[in-house]
Structure 1
Amino acid sequence: MSLALDKTSLRQELRRLRRRLASDIAGAGALAAERLPLDQLPAFDSFSGYVAQGSEIDPRPLMLRLADLGAVPALPTAVSRDEPLEFRLWDTRTPLEPDAFGIPAPPPWTDAVEPDLVICPLLAFDRRGGRLGQGAGHYDRTLSNLRATKPVFVLGLAYAGQELDEIPMEPHDQPLDAILTETEFIAVAKEAR
Protein backbone atom coordinates (compact mmCIF):
# COMPACT_ATOMS: atom_id res chain seq x y z
CA MET A 1 0.00 0.00 0.00
CA SER A 2 1.33 3.47 -0.86
CA LEU A 3 2.07 6.14 1.73
CA ALA A 4 -0.70 8.31 0.20
CA LEU A 5 -3.28 5.54 0.70
CA ASP A 6 -2.02 4.96 4.23
CA LYS A 7 -2.39 8.66 5.01
CA THR A 8 -5.89 8.78 3.50
CA SER A 9 -7.22 5.95 5.67
CA LEU A 10 -5.35 7.34 8.69
CA ARG A 11 -6.98 10.75 8.16
CA GLN A 12 -10.47 9.20 8.15
CA GLU A 13 -9.78 7.43 11.43
CA LEU A 14 -8.24 10.54 12.98
CA ARG A 15 -11.18 12.75 12.03
CA ARG A 16 -13.46 10.39 13.96
CA LEU A 17 -11.08 10.46 16.92
CA ARG A 18 -10.89 14.26 16.89
CA ARG A 19 -14.70 14.55 16.85
CA ARG A 20 -14.86 12.31 19.91
CA LEU A 21 -12.14 14.27 21.71
CA ALA A 22 -13.89 17.56 20.92
CA SER A 23 -17.15 16.31 22.42
CA ASP A 24 -15.39 14.93 25.52
CA ILE A 25 -13.13 17.89 26.37
CA ALA A 26 -14.93 21.16 27.00
CA GLY A 27 -12.89 24.35 26.72
CA ALA A 28 -9.74 22.67 25.38
CA GLY A 29 -8.66 25.84 23.56
CA ALA A 30 -8.77 27.89 26.77
CA LEU A 31 -6.95 25.15 28.70
CA ALA A 32 -4.22 25.05 26.05
CA ALA A 33 -3.84 28.84 26.06
CA GLU A 34 -3.26 28.77 29.83
CA ARG A 35 -0.52 26.14 29.43
CA LEU A 36 1.58 28.04 26.90
CA PRO A 37 4.94 28.91 28.50
CA LEU A 38 5.76 32.21 26.80
CA ASP A 39 9.43 31.90 27.75
CA GLN A 40 9.69 28.83 25.48
CA LEU A 41 8.75 30.80 22.37
CA PRO A 42 11.25 32.74 20.28
CA ALA A 43 10.72 36.48 19.96
CA PHE A 44 7.89 37.27 17.56
CA ASP A 45 6.19 40.44 16.35
CA SER A 46 3.35 38.81 14.43
CA PHE A 47 1.51 35.51 14.45
CA SER A 48 -1.18 33.63 12.61
CA GLY A 49 -3.92 31.52 14.09
CA TYR A 50 -6.85 29.96 12.27
CA VAL A 51 -10.63 29.76 12.40
CA ALA A 52 -11.51 26.35 13.87
CA GLN A 53 -13.47 24.13 11.51
CA GLY A 54 -15.61 21.26 12.76
CA SER A 55 -13.86 19.53 15.64
CA GLU A 56 -10.55 21.44 15.43
CA ILE A 57 -9.39 22.78 18.77
CA ASP A 58 -10.37 26.45 19.10
CA PRO A 59 -7.29 28.70 18.87
CA ARG A 60 -9.11 31.92 19.74
CA PRO A 61 -8.16 31.97 23.46
CA LEU A 62 -4.52 31.46 22.48
CA MET A 63 -4.73 34.10 19.75
CA LEU A 64 -6.21 36.64 22.16
CA ARG A 65 -3.46 35.89 24.69
CA LEU A 66 -0.75 36.43 22.07
CA ALA A 67 -2.42 39.60 20.76
CA ASP A 68 -2.52 40.95 24.33
CA LEU A 69 1.29 40.76 24.28
CA GLY A 70 1.30 43.28 21.43
CA ALA A 71 1.95 40.88 18.56
CA VAL A 72 0.16 41.56 15.27
CA PRO A 73 -2.52 38.86 14.72
CA ALA A 74 -3.31 37.32 11.35
CA LEU A 75 -5.49 34.61 9.85
CA PRO A 76 -4.70 32.40 6.87
CA THR A 77 -6.65 32.89 3.65
CA ALA A 78 -6.88 30.48 0.76
CA VAL A 79 -7.07 32.55 -2.42
CA SER A 80 -7.25 29.41 -4.57
CA ARG A 81 -7.21 25.66 -4.04
CA ASP A 82 -3.70 25.31 -5.48
CA GLU A 83 -1.75 28.26 -4.10
CA PRO A 84 -0.08 28.70 -0.72
CA LEU A 85 -2.11 30.47 1.93
CA GLU A 86 -1.90 34.22 2.41
CA PHE A 87 -1.95 35.79 5.86
CA ARG A 88 -4.10 38.84 6.50
CA LEU A 89 -4.49 41.09 9.51
CA TRP A 90 -7.08 39.79 11.99
CA ASP A 91 -9.17 42.45 13.68
CA THR A 92 -12.10 41.21 15.76
CA ARG A 93 -14.12 44.23 14.56
CA THR A 94 -13.78 43.29 10.88
CA PRO A 95 -16.31 40.72 9.63
CA LEU A 96 -14.72 37.65 8.05
CA GLU A 97 -15.59 36.44 4.54
CA PRO A 98 -15.42 32.93 3.05
CA ASP A 99 -12.12 32.16 1.32
CA ALA A 100 -11.60 29.72 -1.58
CA PHE A 101 -12.46 26.81 0.74
CA GLY A 102 -15.41 28.59 2.36
CA ILE A 103 -13.46 29.16 5.60
CA PRO A 104 -14.01 32.54 7.26
CA ALA A 105 -11.02 34.81 6.57
CA PRO A 106 -10.20 38.51 6.57
CA PRO A 107 -11.44 40.31 3.43
CA PRO A 108 -9.02 41.01 0.54
CA TRP A 109 -8.63 44.69 1.46
CA THR A 110 -7.04 43.92 4.87
CA ASP A 111 -3.28 44.25 5.28
CA ALA A 112 -1.01 41.32 4.50
CA VAL A 113 1.04 39.95 7.40
CA GLU A 114 4.16 37.76 7.32
CA PRO A 115 3.88 35.93 10.64
CA ASP A 116 6.89 34.97 12.77
CA LEU A 117 4.80 32.37 14.61
CA VAL A 118 2.18 30.16 12.94
CA ILE A 119 -0.41 28.22 14.95
CA CYS A 120 -1.38 25.15 12.90
CA PRO A 121 -4.44 22.95 13.13
CA LEU A 122 -3.83 19.24 12.63
CA LEU A 123 -5.27 15.76 12.66
CA ALA A 124 -2.32 14.19 14.46
CA PHE A 125 1.19 14.93 15.73
CA ASP A 126 4.20 13.14 17.10
CA ARG A 127 6.88 14.34 19.52
CA ARG A 128 9.44 14.66 16.72
CA GLY A 129 7.44 17.49 15.15
CA GLY A 130 5.52 15.38 12.67
CA ARG A 131 2.16 16.83 11.67
CA LEU A 132 -0.64 15.21 9.73
CA GLY A 133 -2.95 17.80 8.21
CA GLN A 134 -6.05 17.57 6.05
CA GLY A 135 -4.08 16.42 3.02
CA ALA A 136 -4.28 19.36 0.62
CA GLY A 137 -0.73 20.51 1.44
CA HIS A 138 -1.61 24.17 1.95
CA TYR A 139 0.21 24.55 5.24
CA ASP A 140 3.26 22.64 3.97
CA ARG A 141 3.57 24.86 0.86
CA THR A 142 2.91 27.99 2.87
CA LEU A 143 5.38 27.16 5.65
CA SER A 144 8.04 26.17 3.13
CA ASN A 145 7.67 29.56 1.42
CA LEU A 146 7.72 31.47 4.72
CA ARG A 147 10.73 29.55 6.05
CA ALA A 148 12.61 30.32 2.84
CA THR A 149 12.45 34.04 3.70
CA LYS A 150 12.92 34.09 7.49
CA PRO A 151 12.78 31.98 10.66
CA VAL A 152 9.19 30.96 11.44
CA PHE A 153 8.16 29.10 14.60
CA VAL A 154 5.36 26.61 13.93
CA LEU A 155 3.15 25.65 16.87
CA GLY A 156 0.75 22.75 16.40
CA LEU A 157 -2.45 23.09 18.42
CA ALA A 158 -4.18 19.83 19.22
CA TYR A 159 -5.96 17.65 21.73
CA ALA A 160 -3.51 15.49 23.69
CA GLY A 161 -5.36 12.43 22.36
CA GLN A 162 -4.26 13.30 18.81
CA GLU A 163 -0.69 12.21 19.54
CA LEU A 164 0.68 9.25 17.57
CA ASP A 165 3.97 7.43 18.06
CA GLU A 166 5.08 8.38 14.56
CA ILE A 167 3.60 10.42 11.72
CA PRO A 168 4.48 9.16 8.23
CA MET A 169 6.47 12.12 6.86
CA GLU A 170 7.37 12.88 3.26
CA PRO A 171 10.17 15.21 2.11
CA HIS A 172 7.79 18.14 1.51
CA ASP A 173 6.13 17.88 4.97
CA GLN A 174 6.99 20.82 7.19
CA PRO A 175 7.79 19.92 10.82
CA LEU A 176 6.36 21.55 13.90
CA ASP A 177 8.65 23.38 16.33
CA ALA A 178 6.34 22.67 19.27
CA ILE A 179 2.91 21.29 20.09
CA LEU A 180 0.42 22.75 22.54
CA THR A 181 -2.42 20.65 23.93
CA GLU A 182 -4.94 21.07 26.73
CA THR A 183 -2.54 19.18 29.00
CA GLU A 184 1.01 20.21 28.02
CA PHE A 185 3.50 22.12 25.89
CA ILE A 186 5.85 19.85 23.91
CA ALA A 187 9.05 21.44 22.63
CA VAL A 188 10.49 19.56 19.66
CA ALA A 189 14.23 19.04 19.81
CA LYS A 190 15.86 20.08 16.52
CA GLU A 191 17.79 16.81 16.36
CA ALA A 192 14.54 14.82 16.75
CA ARG A 193 13.32 15.90 13.31
Structure 2
Amino acid sequence: MNPVSHQKSVLRRQMRSLRLVLAAADGLAASRAAVHAPLARLGSGPVAGYIAQGAELDPAPLMAALAEAGVSLALPTALSRDAALIFRTWAPGAVLAPDAFGIPAPLADQPQVAPTALIVPLLAFDRRGGRLGQGAGVYDRAIAALGVEHRPFLLGYAYAGQEVEDLPLEPHDQRLDAILTEAGLIEVR
Protein backbone atom coordinates (compact mmCIF):
# COMPACT_ATOMS: atom_id res chain seq x y z
CA MET A 1 0.00 0.00 0.00
CA ASN A 2 1.43 3.39 -0.96
CA PRO A 3 1.82 6.06 1.77
CA VAL A 4 -1.16 8.15 0.56
CA SER A 5 -3.45 5.10 0.47
CA HIS A 6 -2.33 4.20 3.98
CA GLN A 7 -3.04 7.76 5.24
CA LYS A 8 -6.48 7.60 3.65
CA SER A 9 -7.25 4.22 5.27
CA VAL A 10 -6.33 5.52 8.72
CA LEU A 11 -8.37 8.70 8.19
CA ARG A 12 -11.38 6.65 7.00
CA ARG A 13 -11.48 4.73 10.27
CA GLN A 14 -11.29 7.95 12.29
CA MET A 15 -13.89 9.75 10.20
CA ARG A 16 -16.38 6.85 10.27
CA SER A 17 -16.32 7.04 14.07
CA LEU A 18 -16.63 10.82 14.05
CA ARG A 19 -19.52 10.74 11.58
CA LEU A 20 -21.45 8.38 13.88
CA VAL A 21 -21.04 10.89 16.71
CA LEU A 22 -22.08 13.83 14.48
CA ALA A 23 -25.16 11.98 13.23
CA ALA A 24 -26.27 11.04 16.76
CA ALA A 25 -25.76 14.60 18.01
CA ASP A 26 -27.86 16.40 15.39
CA GLY A 27 -30.94 14.75 13.94
CA LEU A 28 -31.97 17.94 12.09
CA ALA A 29 -28.67 18.58 10.28
CA ALA A 30 -29.97 17.35 6.92
CA SER A 31 -32.98 19.68 7.02
CA ARG A 32 -30.78 22.65 7.92
CA ALA A 33 -28.32 21.80 5.14
CA ALA A 34 -31.11 21.72 2.55
CA VAL A 35 -32.01 25.33 3.41
CA HIS A 36 -28.53 26.41 2.22
CA ALA A 37 -28.70 24.49 -1.07
CA PRO A 38 -27.46 26.34 -4.15
CA LEU A 39 -30.54 25.38 -6.19
CA ALA A 40 -29.68 27.71 -9.08
CA ARG A 41 -26.19 26.21 -9.42
CA LEU A 42 -27.58 22.69 -9.52
CA GLY A 43 -29.68 23.56 -12.57
CA SER A 44 -32.80 21.86 -13.84
CA GLY A 45 -31.19 18.46 -13.84
CA PRO A 46 -30.95 15.73 -13.84
CA VAL A 47 -29.42 16.07 -10.39
CA ALA A 48 -28.28 12.78 -8.90
CA GLY A 49 -28.47 12.32 -5.16
CA TYR A 50 -28.07 9.17 -3.11
CA ILE A 51 -29.90 7.07 -0.55
CA ALA A 52 -28.15 7.63 2.78
CA GLN A 53 -26.46 4.60 4.30
CA GLY A 54 -25.59 4.39 7.98
CA ALA A 55 -24.54 7.75 9.38
CA GLU A 56 -24.29 9.59 6.04
CA LEU A 57 -25.99 12.97 6.02
CA ASP A 58 -29.37 12.19 4.46
CA PRO A 59 -30.04 14.15 1.26
CA ALA A 60 -33.78 13.37 1.35
CA PRO A 61 -34.76 16.93 2.43
CA LEU A 62 -32.55 18.39 -0.30
CA MET A 63 -33.91 15.99 -2.92
CA ALA A 64 -37.48 16.87 -1.88
CA ALA A 65 -36.69 20.60 -2.26
CA LEU A 66 -35.23 19.96 -5.70
CA ALA A 67 -38.28 17.93 -6.76
CA GLU A 68 -40.58 20.67 -5.49
CA ALA A 69 -38.60 23.19 -7.57
CA GLY A 70 -39.23 21.06 -10.68
CA VAL A 71 -35.70 19.67 -10.96
CA SER A 72 -35.45 16.21 -12.53
CA LEU A 73 -33.72 13.71 -10.24
CA ALA A 74 -31.64 10.58 -10.53
CA LEU A 75 -29.98 8.06 -8.26
CA PRO A 76 -26.81 6.01 -8.73
CA THR A 77 -26.93 2.33 -9.56
CA ALA A 78 -24.04 -0.11 -9.22
CA LEU A 79 -24.39 -2.84 -11.85
CA SER A 80 -21.34 -4.65 -10.42
CA ARG A 81 -18.83 -3.97 -7.67
CA ASP A 82 -16.09 -3.10 -10.17
CA ALA A 83 -18.00 -1.08 -12.77
CA ALA A 84 -18.56 2.67 -12.71
CA LEU A 85 -21.90 3.76 -11.29
CA ILE A 86 -24.62 4.63 -13.73
CA PHE A 87 -27.45 7.06 -12.99
CA ARG A 88 -31.14 6.37 -13.56
CA THR A 89 -34.10 8.70 -13.31
CA TRP A 90 -35.92 8.72 -10.00
CA ALA A 91 -38.74 10.56 -8.24
CA PRO A 92 -39.44 10.66 -4.50
CA GLY A 93 -41.60 7.71 -3.54
CA ALA A 94 -40.61 5.58 -6.57
CA VAL A 95 -40.01 1.88 -6.04
CA LEU A 96 -36.35 0.97 -5.52
CA ALA A 97 -34.44 -2.33 -5.60
CA PRO A 98 -31.00 -3.26 -4.20
CA ASP A 99 -28.08 -2.72 -6.58
CA ALA A 100 -24.79 -4.68 -6.64
CA PHE A 101 -23.80 -3.12 -3.28
CA GLY A 102 -27.23 -3.76 -1.77
CA ILE A 103 -28.10 -0.05 -1.84
CA PRO A 104 -31.63 0.92 -2.94
CA ALA A 105 -31.55 2.07 -6.57
CA PRO A 106 -34.04 2.78 -9.37
CA LEU A 107 -35.49 -0.19 -11.18
CA ALA A 108 -33.76 -1.42 -14.36
CA ASP A 109 -36.59 -0.08 -16.55
CA GLN A 110 -35.78 3.53 -15.56
CA PRO A 111 -33.83 5.51 -18.18
CA GLN A 112 -30.13 6.02 -17.71
CA VAL A 113 -29.09 9.70 -17.64
CA ALA A 114 -25.95 11.82 -17.47
CA PRO A 115 -26.47 14.10 -14.46
CA THR A 116 -25.61 17.79 -14.65
CA ALA A 117 -24.93 17.77 -10.90
CA LEU A 118 -24.08 15.11 -8.33
CA ILE A 119 -24.78 15.29 -4.61
CA VAL A 120 -22.11 13.03 -3.17
CA PRO A 121 -21.69 11.49 0.28
CA LEU A 122 -18.30 11.55 1.96
CA LEU A 123 -16.33 10.78 5.08
CA ALA A 124 -14.20 13.94 5.03
CA PHE A 125 -13.63 17.04 2.93
CA ASP A 126 -11.26 19.97 2.75
CA ARG A 127 -11.72 23.48 1.41
CA ARG A 128 -9.72 22.69 -1.73
CA GLY A 129 -12.47 20.32 -2.85
CA GLY A 130 -10.79 17.18 -1.59
CA ARG A 131 -13.21 14.37 -0.81
CA LEU A 132 -12.57 11.19 1.14
CA GLY A 133 -15.10 8.52 0.23
CA GLN A 134 -15.58 4.97 1.48
CA GLY A 135 -12.57 3.73 -0.49
CA ALA A 136 -14.15 1.74 -3.31
CA GLY A 137 -13.70 4.57 -5.84
CA VAL A 138 -17.21 4.21 -7.25
CA TYR A 139 -17.89 7.95 -7.52
CA ASP A 140 -14.42 8.72 -8.89
CA ARG A 141 -14.89 6.08 -11.62
CA ALA A 142 -18.42 7.29 -12.41
CA ILE A 143 -17.31 10.91 -12.78
CA ALA A 144 -14.35 9.89 -14.92
CA ALA A 145 -16.67 7.76 -17.09
CA LEU A 146 -18.89 10.79 -17.78
CA GLY A 147 -15.88 12.47 -19.38
CA VAL A 148 -14.51 15.98 -19.21
CA GLU A 149 -17.18 17.43 -21.52
CA HIS A 150 -19.99 15.99 -19.37
CA ARG A 151 -18.42 16.47 -15.93
CA PRO A 152 -21.24 17.34 -13.52
CA PHE A 153 -21.14 19.97 -10.80
CA LEU A 154 -19.98 18.05 -7.70
CA LEU A 155 -21.65 19.01 -4.43
CA GLY A 156 -20.27 17.26 -1.37
CA TYR A 157 -22.93 16.70 1.29
CA ALA A 158 -21.68 16.32 4.84
CA TYR A 159 -21.76 17.40 8.45
CA ALA A 160 -19.67 20.53 9.07
CA GLY A 161 -17.62 18.51 11.57
CA GLN A 162 -16.33 16.29 8.74
CA GLU A 163 -14.06 19.07 7.50
CA VAL A 164 -10.32 18.45 7.77
CA GLU A 165 -7.44 20.81 7.06
CA ASP A 166 -5.86 18.96 4.14
CA LEU A 167 -6.83 15.60 2.65
CA PRO A 168 -4.24 13.30 1.12
CA LEU A 169 -5.30 12.88 -2.52
CA GLU A 170 -4.27 10.64 -5.39
CA PRO A 171 -4.39 11.44 -9.13
CA HIS A 172 -7.72 9.62 -9.63
CA ASP A 173 -9.51 11.52 -6.84
CA GLN A 174 -12.19 13.86 -8.22
CA ARG A 175 -12.40 17.27 -6.55
CA LEU A 176 -15.68 18.78 -5.35
CA ASP A 177 -16.97 22.12 -6.65
CA ALA A 178 -18.70 22.98 -3.36
CA ILE A 179 -19.68 21.37 -0.06
CA LEU A 180 -23.07 21.73 1.60
CA THR A 181 -23.34 21.28 5.37
CA GLU A 182 -25.83 22.17 8.07
CA ALA A 183 -23.71 25.29 8.68
CA GLY A 184 -23.93 26.51 5.08
CA LEU A 185 -22.41 26.30 1.63
CA ILE A 186 -18.64 26.14 1.24
CA GLU A 187 -17.38 27.29 -2.15
CA VAL A 188 -14.18 25.57 -3.18
CA ARG A 189 -11.22 27.87 -3.72
TM-score, normalization by structure 1: 0.93
Q: Which amino acid aligns with 2:31?
A: A
> Which residue number corresponds to residue 169 of structure 1?
169
Q: Which amino acid aligns with 2:90?
A: W
Shift of 1:187: 0.8
1:25-72 Cα offsets, whole Å, 9 max, x none, are: 111111100112434x15343100000000000001101111222221
> Which residue number corresponds to residue 24 of structure 2?
23
Distance 2:39 2:60 in 1: 16
Distance 1:72 1:125 in 2: 27
Indicate conservation of the 8 Å contact 1:44/1:117, yes or no. no
- Aligned residue for 1:186, secondary structure, equals strand
Q: Which amino acid aligns with 1:32?
A: A
Q: Percent identity?
A: 52
Q: Which amino acid aligns with 1:165?
A: E
Indicate conservation of the 8 Å contact 2:44/2:72, yes or no. no
Distance 1:112 1:157 in 2: 23
Q: For the aligned residues, what is the CA RMSD?
A: 1.3
**More displaced 10-residue stretch of structure 1: 10-19 or 145-154:** 145-154
> Which residue number corresponds to residue 136 of structure 1?
136
Distance 2:45 2:66 in 1: 10
Shift of 1:185: 0.2
Distance 1:15 1:96 in 2: 26
> Which residue number corresponds to residue 48 of structure 2?
48
Distance 2:90 2:42 in 1: 21
Indicate conservation of the 8 Å contact 2:178/2:186, yes or no. yes
> Which residue number corresponds to residue 7 of structure 1?
8
Deviation >4 Å, runs of 4+: none
Structure 1 residues 29 and 42: CA distance shift in structure 2, 3 A: closer
| Matched ranges for 1:1-193 at <5 A | 2-39=3-40, 41=41, 43-189=43-189
- Aligned residue for 2:155, secondary structure, equals strand
- Aligned residue for 1:135, secondary structure, equals coil
Q: Which amino acid aligns with 1:19?
A: L
Indicate conservation of the 8 Å contact 1:57/1:158, yes or no. yes
- Aligned residue for 1:141, secondary structure, equals helix
Indicate conservation of the 8 Å contact 2:114/2:150, yes or no. no
Structure 1 residues 182 and 93: CA distance shift in structure 2, 3 A: closer
Q: Unaligned regions of 5+ residues in structure 2, if any?
A: none
1:134-177 Cα offsets, whole Å, 9 max, x none, are: 00000001111224342410000000000000111111000000
TM-score, normalization by structure 2: 0.95
